[in-house]
Structure 1
Amino acid sequence: MTTVQNIAKNSLFLLAGQVTGIVFGFFYFVSMARYLGAEDLGILSFALSLTIIIGLLGDIGFSSLMIRELSRNQSLAPKYTGNIFLMKLLLAIITFGAIAIIMNFLDYSENAIEVVYIITISNIFTNFTNIFYSVFQAFERFEYLSIGMILNSVLMLIGIFFAIGQNFGLIYFAFIYLIVNAIVLAYSFFFCLRKFIVPVFEIDWIFWKKTISESLPFWLNAVFVTIYFRIDMVMLSAITGDSAVGWYAASYRLIDALGFIPAVLMGIMYPVFSKFHINSKDNLEFAFKKSFKILTIIAIPIGIGTTILAERIIILIYGVQYSPSVDALRILIWASVLSFFNYTPATYLTSTNRQRTLMIFTFIGAILNLVLNFILIPRFSYNGAAVATVFTEFVVGMLMVFNIHKSENLLSSLMNITFKSLIAGVIMAAFLLVFHDYILILLILFAAIVYFIALYIVNGFEEEDISLFKQILER
């Protein structure tokens, strides 16, 4: 099997898991949002955001380091898995302690505090699951990762619908997250033992010191990215109240759902980039350009189409009670578009041992986002938070692209595909404006057809793109 075919196979497995998660997640989140209302949804969204931020203490970059190192030398898997498992036990205690301290200083209701504690334990389970997911990913056996995602989605769907059917309160929805993540952890641990490796549980102080030192840049990068993607909900909760968080979360959930597209592709390409960095610089450059091209071609019509159809999308999905979410969606969708652009250079920097450079850029983004949120949220509420997120993504993206361009001179090719995609997007926008009131599903389908025809006309597809597609289809 060729590298291209292997990438395609793994992409299909991961895509299956992600699509299932998106579809099922869409149904259970929308049902939960309609059932709970904006205020309770705001409490749950606050808990999820806060525990994601503090939960970063539970994985100080270990997962990313494992994927990179084990993709280069799989024989190290037992040592990495066992040692990191023990380190995460200590970090889990620290994580829960940090949450307890923070909640004692914040003036929240007893109900909200209980939800935060339950979601914290749920996230701790997820941090342990990521150890075994890293093994699956490094060994390029994405079917096991996909099964875990599907299992999570199915159980969440069943749990949420059961809770709604039984008229349960908010606290029970938090327990669903806890129970489901515990089951997925058991699944990942079992199949890691049975199909891959047996962890060597040991305390190797030299290894611990080396691993922590190498993983810290990954962790700090994750911290900074999480801050500028999640701190807005925490700040909104403190400044404007739970209802504003609920309206913002409704739009943000749709943006999160779109994130599966670059996550799938670059999740596959991360170990590939890491290998090419050692074995073939030419292949690395080729893979970088094609990855960026694919994500750009997908991102631009999503951004333009969502901006035009935002009101119809929000009302259809959430109902009139979430109409305040429309403007936030129109702004946030461009954060998603920029995120598509940024995934490839971020993965490139990480896989080429330049995670410290990426860490500096994301640190700048985190500080910028905090400052903008402090300025914009009091004046513009959740719309201000959305603007802060978009501007932060833009700045971080420019820093990454220009840094890579200095050594690899890739900017012209990136600008070329972006320009052609924008031309096709403008043609698609004209189509949407003319036929705006037609059936939404058909409108989106025909708009996509118009976009790709226009992209073909402006030579957005090259001969080597067609050749790659043929390789994927070959058996």
Structure 2
Amino acid sequence: MTTVGETLPGRLSLRDLLKSVGRNSGALTLTGAASKLATFVVLILANRALPREEFGGYALVLATAEIIRVVAAFGVDQVSLRAFAREPALQAHTLSNTLILKAMSSATAAILFAGAAWYLRFTPEMWVGFALLAADFFLGSVTLSLVTFHQANVRADRAVPGMLAGAVASVAFGAGAFALHAPMPAFLASVPVGNGIAVAGLWLLTRRWVSPSTRLASRVSLRRLARSAWPLAVAGVMILLYFRISTLMLAKLSGLSAVASYTPAYKLSEAFLLVPAALTGTTLPLLASTLRNGPSRAGAAAYRSAMSIAVAISVPFGIGCSVLGQFVLVHVFGPSYAGSAFALGVLGWATVLMALNQQSGNALLALDRERLIMWVTVVNLAVNITANLILIPRLSFNGAALATLITEAVNFVMLGLLVVYFLRRTHE
């Protein structure tokens, strides 16, 4: 196999990290922005084209699929990213095992999605949307795996053309649905269309450096990968639940009208997460390298640098959501959504905490503490459900936003204490 990446430095200064962030995270931000923008544009088109109740159904199908989608990913991307960084000579084997495991987990996710759709009493149109997004589980998970390969080699820029092509295809399909006054499932179809184009482009590109094959996979490697990934899969489910279960609880406790009011604020705040997520995509392989043998001064310095950058990029967003939230909502979604401004402001500051928590989670993952991450997220879910049950009946969608902020604050304290504890062992 021909390697595609760069040798990761043994010690990381803030300058080194900024250089890597500029190259790798810049590309991840661009591709993530294109993907989020495509989803957001189609969301706006659906909002303008569909009746309010039908748009609420569209939002509910999307939210349910996103909760289940993490099962298709099965936590493999983070584990494979760590493996790509630690064992560059075995990248083809890692990628092969990753794709096989994702095929199995995607089938499981589709079954779970069907159960959730039945429980939420999907309408016939929503069931059509279910079928489209269930098929997209595998397409989306393969896309992430191929991007992860380039990301681990600090060459995420190579994935840009394929991801941009997928985003353009998704928007074009959504625009066609809008122009033709198509029903709700047509807007949901833009998701698998975009990921299908992205997979085709990324597959052709990636085969220039590695050739994934079932012959490179093995049961032993699959079991080892699954053992490392399952705590992160559970953690991923918990994270999505305590962020997105608010939508499901709103539907049950306040109705689809509350879901429609909450979705614009939720989507606007979620869109920014691609920036700290791109930073995470660079810091994880670097931390995995500096902490591969346990706590180290270089790893502690890298963690502090990552947290400093996360603060610098996220705090302005929180301020912007508080100050400009109503202006943005009114001009993007219309005057009827002015009442969602408070929720957007609250979710903006929850997003700041999420950006910091991602870096703390990275440090624990680099230290092979994925099971601790899982238990932290279990506590977070309990906090979030409790807060939602108390706040939604009283404050509707504003209560859902406050529940998210409370959850992320608890998460920040727990993760921060764990990282400080383990990294302090460097000096003992």
| Superimposed CA distance per residue, residues 64-99 of structure 1 (whole angstroms, 9 cap, x where no aligned partner) | 111101111122222222223223222222222222
Q: Percent identity?
A: 23
For residue 234 of structure 2, what is the amino acid of its counterpart?
A: L
Structure 2 Cα separation of the partners of residues 349 and 155 of structure 1: 37
Corresponding letter in the other structure for 1:109 = T
Contact 2:166 2:193 in 1 (8 A): no
> Distance in 1 between the 2:100 and 2:281 partners?
25
Unaligned runs of at least 5 residues, structure 2:
1-5, 10-15
2:121 match: secondary structure: coil
Q: Is the 8 A contact 2:23 2:157 kept in 1?
A: no
Amino acid of the residue matched to residue 217 of structure 1?
P
Q: Does the C-alpha gap of structure 1 residues 290 and 6 become closer, same or farther in structure 2, counting only changes over 3 Å?
A: closer
* Per-residue deviation, 1:375: 2.4
Matched residues, number:
410
**Does the 8 Å CA contact 2:102/2:142 hold for their aligned counterparts?**
yes
Partner of 1:32: 46
SS of the aligned residue for 1:195 comes to: coil
Closer/same/farther in 2, CA of residues 74 and 197 from structure 1, 3 Å limit: farther
2:101 is the counterpart of 1:91: no
CA distance in 1 between partners of 2:78 and 2:249 (Å): 28
Instruction: State the superposition RMSD in angstroms.
Output: 2.2
Which residue is equivalent to 1:124?
Answer: 138
Q: Is the 8 A contact 1:78 1:200 kept in 2?
A: no
Letter in 1 for 2:231: P
Q: Does 1:342 align with 2:357?
A: yes
Counterpart contact for 1:52–1:123, Cα < 8 Å: no
**How far apart are residue 393 of structure 1 and its match?**
0.4
Alignment partner of 2:245 out of 194, 206, 231: 231
Question: What does residue 12 of structure 2 align with?
Answer: none
SS of residue paired to 2:113:
helix
* CA separation of 1:53 and 1:20: change in aligned 2, threshold 3 A: closer
Return the offset for 1:22: 4.8
1:54 match: 68
Give the equivalent residue in structure 1 for 2:13: none
Deviation at 1:369, TM superposition (A): 0.9
1:288 match: 303
Quote how far apart the aligned CAs of 1:26 are.
4.4
Larger radius of gyration: 1
TM-score, normalised via structure 1 length:
0.81
Shift of 1:292: 0.9
Go from structure 1 to structure 2 and tell me whether the alpha carbon gap of 1:101 and 1:6 turns closer, same or farther (over 3 Å shift). closer
Cα 1:322–1:38 shift into 2, 3 Å: farther
Q: Which residue is 1:247 aligned to?
A: 261
Farther-moved stretch of structure 1 (384-393 vs 138-147): 138-147
1:389 equivalent in structure 2: 404
Residue in 1 that maps onto 2:186: 172
1:392 Cα offset (Å): 0.3
Distance 1:93 1:26 in 2: 27
Q: Deviations over 1:269-311 (max 9, x none)?
A: 1111111113792322222112211221232232223212222
* Structure 2 residue 339 is the aligned partner of structure 1 residue 327: no
Matched with 1:417 is none
Please tell me whether residue 376 in structure 1 is matched to residue 391 in structure 2: yes
2:368 alignment partner, SS class: coil
Partner residue, 1:17: 31
Q: Could you give the per-residue CA deviations for residues 118-161 of structure 1, whole angstroms, max 9, x where no partner exists?
A: 12212231012222222122222201333333223222222222
Q: Is the 8 A contact 2:42 2:187 kept in 1?
A: no
Distance 1:340 1:164, change over 3 A: same
Give the Cα–Cα distance (whole angstroms) in 1 for the partners of residues 410 and 72 of structure 2. 28
What letter corresponds to residue 258 of structure 1 in structure 2?
A: F
The one-letter code sitting in structure 1 at the alignment partner of 2:388 is N
Q: Is the 8 A contact 2:103 2:138 kept in 1?
A: no
Equivalent pair of 1:236/1:382 in contact (CA under 8 Å): yes
Pairing partner for 1:64 from 75, 78, 92: 78
In structure 2, what is the equivalent of residue 183 of structure 1?
197
2:118 aligned to which of 96, 104, 107: 104
